[in-house]
Amino acid sequence: MARHPIYTVSLAMLSACIANGQCRPDRWQPMMSGAAIFTFLNFIYFSCLVVFYPAYIDHIWRPKYRSGWLLAGVSMEEELLFAGTLGLMWCSLYEHLYWHQYLPEAST
């Protein structure tokens, strides 16, 4: 079975997030929130594709190279794994690119 580059990319993003979490333990909660939100949005998007354009995913991603693990017609391994690791990475990447850090308001 041939492997998609998406596995390598997901592993690289996961490794970067683990390294970032080790350096910045305060980022774990926002990273997990980002992963959950982005995975949910990606799931909704692909669910809509499955409903409105059923042959689209099979046309773009060749079925013989996919794992076959589906959740409501959405490929769990390829799409949701990638979305989760991208969501993990995006939270920290945004802070590094724009030097913006979320600071909760101090209680008075």
- pLDDT single digits (tens) 65-87: 666 666 666 666 677 788 888 88
Q: What is the total residue count of the chain?
A: 108
> Nearest CA to 17 among 88, 80, 71?
88
* Residue-level pLDDT at 96: 73
Residue 53 confidence (pLDDT) = 81
pLDDT at 42: 87
pLDDT given for residue 1 in this prediction: 47
The crossing angle, in degrees rounded to 10, of helices 5-23 and 28-52 is 160
Structure token pair of residue 15: 């490794």
Q: Is 83 helix (H, G, I), strand (E, B) or coil?
A: helix
Q: What is the pLDDT of residue 67?
A: 64
pTM of the model: 0.70
Show the 3-state SS of 25-73: HHHHHHHHHHHHHHHHHHHHHHHHHHHHCCCHHHHHCCHHHCCCCEECC
pLDDT on residue 76 = 62
* pLDDT less than 70: residues of the chain: 1-3, 61-77, 99-108
Q: What are the sequence ranges of the domains in the chain?
A: 27-98
Q: Percentage of residues in the chain with pLDDT exceeding 90?
A: 1
